[in-house]
Amino acid sequence: MYETVIGLEVHVELGTKTKIFCGCETEFGAPPNTHVCPVCMGSPGVLPVLNEQALRLGMKAAMALHCEVRKDSKFDRKNYFYPDSPKAYQISQYDEPIGEHGYIDIEVGGQVRRIGITRVHLEEDAGKLSHSVFGDASYVDFNRVGIPLIEIVSEPDIQTAEEARLYLEELKAIMQYCAVSECKMEEGSLRCDANISLRPIGQKELGTKTEIKNMNSFRHVERGLLFEQERQEAMLHRNEMIVQETRRFDESTMSTISMRSKEDAHDYRYFAEPDLPRIVVSDRFLAECLAEIPELPAQKRARFVQDYGLPDYDASVLTATRPLAEFFDETAKRVKDPKVASNWIMGDVLGYLKTTDATIETFAISSMRLAELIGLIENGTISTKIAKSVFKDMLETGKDAKILIEEQGLVQISDESALRAIAQKVIENNPKSVQDVVAGKDKAIGSLVGQMMKETKGKANPQVVNQILKELITG
């Protein structure tokens, strides 16, 4: 029997307006080589100047991942020749990263698992290479050179492909909550490489690992790791040696393919970047960063369960993004039963957003207006059924629930005397159903309630109707 050991290296693009060492824009998708200047192009004689916002976001990320942060750190040069690197070195951090010894808690099968974070460091991105289909030329787009990144290296604490996905989802949520990054994997603002090895259970020593690259979604990470786990396990069963190598995830076959062996590993010749002074931050700067870290998803989930009495499932759905969690929070605060708010948001709101491909930030009904609608159910003004149609009308017309109800005369009839008169009539007209009810056929009452609703055009308060009917029939 083998156990799986997985470690993840995640690159997250920091959401700054300008690059890390020059004033060029970081906008995604601009025409090639339009966001470049002598500095990021590495023209002879230029010098880097640190963008303080990049440092701030990096520091916030390290703090949100519970890292110990360095007040005094430095940049280093990672030297390598490749056309994507105009200076032939990347400015990164080697032995004094801004953050170390952090963790992320994930929930697996109802149990909390703590995944260690080895380090968080700042660095600049490289350019993007593309190759002519005829194989006779290569092109470099330097727009991405100098985009600020943090690299987040996990401890080899992850044991399954599912845990890897959960770790990434949680990491992404934390980064988004802190406004560190949008973490759009499709735009490359979150990238993940995975290291995976197997070892016999009980063995301390790690097995030979492989590194998987080119996974463009969390699902790919999961599938890639599953494939690799099975591949390695099968090899070990056949007593074959695992080769330490880098493997590429292939989307079309959902498998991994060997790229290169570790034999041509680089010696990056790291040394302290002499063009940048040490990164020394004040206590005040750190306090500011800390103050900018909001309640994180894990804390929010716990609070939603504890304070609002939500089931774990609801809490995790509602905290998936910060705007959604805030939307729920604002709605729940204003209603009697937060679970009702949760049902509305998880059902009607998310359903609508999914069909329209929209996000909660641009959702037409504010949390306050949704709470008003729910309040109208809670105080008996309308039934839940009516509320659903009011909700649709609110989306279509942009009008408030109260106005729509007034305009359409939808106020629920809860007045007992009025309902009693109608009930009398329904009983007289449906002797068969009444007999069934008397005979103990509970279902029959539903038919009578249905008649009542028909008579009142759905405005009768169902609870009151039920009660009156029972009273009149059974005496």
Partner 1 sequence: MLDFSQGIRKLHEALRSGTTTPEELLNQSIEQIEQKDGEIKAFLRVNDVTARDRLKGNAAASNSFSPKHLLDGIPYALKDNMCYEGIETTCASKILEGYIPPYTATVAQKLDDAGAILIGKANMDEFAMGSSTENSSYFPTKNPWQQDHVPGGSSGGSVAAVAAGMVPFALGSDTGGSIRQPAAFCGVVGLKPTYGRVSRYGLVAFASSLDQIGPITNSVEDAAIVLQAIAGADVHDATSAHVEVPDFTAKLTGDIRGLQVGVAPEFFADAMDEGVRQRVQEAVQVLKELGAEIKPISLPHISYAIAAYYLLAPAEASSNLARFDGVRYGYRSQNAQNLLAMYSKTRSEGFGKEVKRRILIGTYALSSGYYDAYYKRAQKMRTLIRQDFEQAFSQVDVIVSPTTPAPAFLLGEKTKDPVTMYMTDMCTIPINLAGLPAISVPCGLSQGMPVGLQIIGKMFDEQTILQVADAYEKTVDFAAVRTAHSKEAK
Which residues contribute to the site for partner 1 (CB under 8 A)? 38, 41-50, 77, 79, 81, 83, 86-89, 140, 267, 269-271, 274-277
Name the one range near Zn ion by CB under 5 A: 22-30, 53-61, 109-117, 337-345: 22-30
Binder among 24, 147, 281, 387 for Zn ion (CB under 5 A): 24
- Residue 24 contact among partner 1, Zn ion, none, beta carbon within 5 to 8 Å by kind: Zn ion
Contact partner at residue 453 from Zn ion, partner 1, none, CB < 5 to 8 Å by partner kind: none
89 binds, among Zn ion, partner 1, none (CB under 5 to 8 A by kind): partner 1
Judged by beta carbon distances under 5 to 8 A according to partner kind, the member of partner 1, Zn ion, none in contact with residue 56 is: none
**x/- letters, 213..232, toward Zn ion (CB under 5 A):** --------------------
Shortest reach from residue 60's CB to partner 1, in Å: 22
**Minimum CB distance to Zn ion, residue 77 (Å):** 18
CB of 146 to Zn ion, least distance (A): 6
How many angstroms separate the CA atoms of 19 and 54, rounded? Answer: 8
Q: Which stretch binds Zn ion (CB under 5 A): 20-28, 343-351, 436-444, 462-470?
A: 20-28
Q: Which does 46 bind (CB under 5 to 8 A by kind): Zn ion, partner 1, none?
A: partner 1
Q: Which two tokens stand for residue 315?
A: 């809490």
Nearest approach, Cβ of residue 216 and partner 1 (Å): 26
Tell me which of Zn ion, partner 1, none is bound by residue 285, counting a contact when its beta carbon lies within the kind-specific cut-off of 5 to 8 angstroms: none
- With CB under 5 A as the contact rule, the residue among 10, 12, 20, 22 that binds Zn ion is 22
Please, what is the minimum distance in Å from the beta carbon of residue 350 to partner 1?
Answer: 47
Quick one: what does residue 38 bind among Zn ion, partner 1, none, with the CB cut-off 5 to 8 Å set by partner type? partner 1
Q: At 127, list the tokens.
A: 């350019």
Count of residues of this chain found to bind Zn ion when the rule CB under 5 A is applied:
5
d(C-alpha 262, C-alpha 246), whole Å: 7
- When CB distances are held under 5 to 8 angstroms depending on the partner's kind, the choice from partner 1, Zn ion, none that residue 276 binds is partner 1
Of the two residues 22 and 212, which places its CB atom closer to partner 1 in the complex?
Answer: 22
Which of 42, 458 has the CB closer to partner 1? 42
Q: Which of residues 36-95 bind Zn ion (CB under 5 A)?
A: 37, 39-40
Question: Minimum distance from CB of 145 to partner 1 (Å)?
Answer: 11
| Residue 85 neighbours by CB under 8 Å, 6+ apart | 126, 127, 145
Residue with tokens 């070195």: 89
Identify what 439 binds: Zn ion, partner 1, none; CB under 5 to 8 Å per kind.
none
- Could you give the CA distance from residue 308 to residue 343 in angstroms, rounded to a whole number? 13
**Measured distance between the N- and C-terminal CA atoms of the chain, rounded to whole angstroms:** 70
| Least spacing, CB of residue 137 vs partner 1, in Å | 12
Binding residues for Zn ion (CB under 5 A): 22, 24, 37, 39-40
